Amino acid sequence: MARKLAAGNWKMNGSLAALAEVDALIGDLDGGCEVLLCPPATLIAPMAARATGSALMVGAQTCHPATSGAHTGDLSAAMLAEAGATHIITGHSERRTDHGETDGDVAAQTQAVLDAGLIAIVCVGETEAERDAAVTLNVISTQLAGSIPEGAAPAQIVVAYEPVWAIGTGRTPTLDQIADVHAHIREELSERLGAAQADHIPLLYGGSVKPGNAAEIFGVQHVDGALVGGASLKAADFGPIAAALAAS
């Protein structure tokens, strides 16, 4: 069975003052699931220092595929690991859209994460137009095949399904829609890696997860956690989501 993971993505939000939320969150963790926060790169080191000795893990939101070089403004996976990151998100829909990242780019980044000894949270998901055109599962299959490098160690992979049309909109797919996609992801991973390996890869749902809907989402088969956006910025919101996952 896959481990449970509640992951928070702060996106381009937060400041040193916001780290007070980390103290509040740490006080609420009961160890019933893994908990991760991915702040902006400027906050990784101070957040990791704050989390030392606690159950909270700290991650990054992206990385450059190269280990070093003339890439102004970019950070390598090794640099992020040195700052305290244990996980790195790759292929988030906002990176794919805002920065034009392709499946090939995501695969290269994911390989860099694995090479650095970290865990990659590989994001896949369809747009509203793709959902309306009834090609969601085809899109997911293509992204999985193109974004996870060959030979990837299952222990270093987490897959997050984020319906692009539900991110930050307040819209949430039905539980049946979530179940269908997560079952499809598990099947695709099983065909590629074998069921024994695929069953240990956490599958996260990411799309307007809130304290009020977390429990029912975590009750869906093959949903092993969540990749949470805005609700991860406040301990009062993210703490109950992690608690709901621990209780699921």
Give the CB-side neighbour count of residue 45, counting CA atoms within 13 A: 5
Q: Which of 64, 162, 184, 188 is catalytic?
A: 162
How would you classify the pairing of strands 87-90 and 119-124?
parallel
Q: 162 an active-site residue? A: yes
Query: Exposed, middle or buried by CB within 10 Å (0-12, 13-18, 19+), for 223?
Result: buried
11: tokens are 């996106």
Scan for tokens 């606690």, then name that residue. 54
CB 125 within 8 A of CB 93: yes
Q: Which of 21, 34, 64, 92 is catalytic?
A: 92
Q: C-alpha 20: how far from its chain's center?
A: 23
Query: Exposed, middle or buried by CB within 10 Å (0-12, 13-18, 19+), for 213?
Result: middle
Q: 92 an active-site residue? A: yes
3-state secondary structure of 117: coil
Active-site annotation, residues: 92, 162
